[in-house]
Amino acid sequence: MRGHGFLIANYVRGNSVIHRTPLWLKFLLVAGCGTASFLIVDWLVSAAVLAVMCGLFLLTGAGAGRLWRAVWMVAPILIVIGLFQWWQLGGPTAARIVLNVLVCVVAASVLTATTPVQDLLDGVVSLARPFKRFGADPERFALTIAVMLRSIPFIAGAFSDVRDSARARGLERNPRALVLPVFITTVAYARQTGDALAARGLGEAGD
């Protein structure tokens, strides 16, 4: 399989003020953006928050190219959502919903671009530790995040590969030729990932 586009920006080494910001504050920023996306009712406010988040991303030194790639990957879904909401609820609501999703994507990218994955996983383990008393395994929370970060770009890459092979056979307009192979590839990938983790003894009870 070829290299994949990344929905969420990978870690970029640096020493920006965002890099140096404590992890809990970055988590809070992402959680805040997620909550705000439900509370903001004016698309102009959403646009302003998005502008601030984009500014924060550029402050990290990760570059506009990475920001564009992160946004570009969700563009097809956002176009579909935006058109549907426009039809159902009108332009301002559609703009607000699309902009709020973008705020979340950019906020997540700020977090992942400035935090090494292992630090992120350690942070998740710390956050999940209180649930240990209820029988939850904090390491499994972290592993779930790790697998999610890996799986999204894989599925995006699988879609690109399948689209190319459908195009090569003149089937680019056949949704079944696109969806079914991606579905099968994704299931196979999930099984392989499960095997790979099991073989390394990761994700077992009591880790």
Partner 1 sequence: MNTIIFSGVAVRVAVDGSHTAKTLLQDVSFELTERRIGVIGANGSGKSTLLRLLNGLAEPSEGTVTVNGSSTVSEVRHVRSQVGFVFTDPLSQLVMPTGREDVELSLRRSVRNSRERAARAEAVLDRFGLLRLADQSIYELSGGERQLLALCAVLAVDPKVLVLDEPSTLLDLRNRELLRRTLAGLEQQIIMSTHDLELALDMDRVLVVDDGRIVFDGGAAEAVDRYRELCAAELEADSEGVHRP
Residues near partner 1, by CB under 8 A: 1-4, 6, 10, 13, 116-119, 121-122, 139, 142, 146-147, 149-150, 153, 192-193, 195-202, 204, 206-207
Nearer to partner 1, 39 or 199 (CB): 199
- As measured in angstroms, the least distance from the Cβ of 33 to partner 1 is 23
Which amino acid is present at 65? G
CB-CB contact of 50 with 99 (8 Å): yes
Nearer to partner 1, 93 or 160 (CB): 160
- As measured in angstroms, the least distance from the Cβ of 76 to partner 1 is 21
Nearer to partner 1, 173 or 200 (CB): 200
Q: 29-55 burial by CB neighbour count: b if 16+ within 10 A, else e?
A: bbeebeebbeebeebeebbebbeebbe
Nearer to partner 1, 93 or 186 (CB): 186
- As measured in angstroms, the least distance from the Cβ of 128 to partner 1 is 14
Nearer to partner 1, 84 or 183 (CB): 183
**Phi, psi dihedral angles at 49 (to 5 degrees):** -65, -40
* Number of CB atoms found within 10 A of residue 82's CB: 19
Closest CA to 151 of 196, 189, 111, 203: 189
Instruction: Kindly tell me the sign of the dihedral angle through the C-alpha atoms of 100, 45, 61, 32.
Output: negative
Full DSSP string of 136-164: --HHHHHHHHHHHHHHHHHHHHHHHHHHH
- As measured in angstroms, the least distance from the Cβ of 35 to partner 1 is 28
- As measured in angstroms, the least distance from the Cβ of 38 to partner 1 is 30
CB-CB contact of 160 with 4 (8 Å): yes
Nearer to partner 1, 33 or 121 (CB): 121
- As measured in angstroms, the least distance from the Cβ of 154 to partner 1 is 9
CB-CB contact of 105 with 2 (8 Å): no
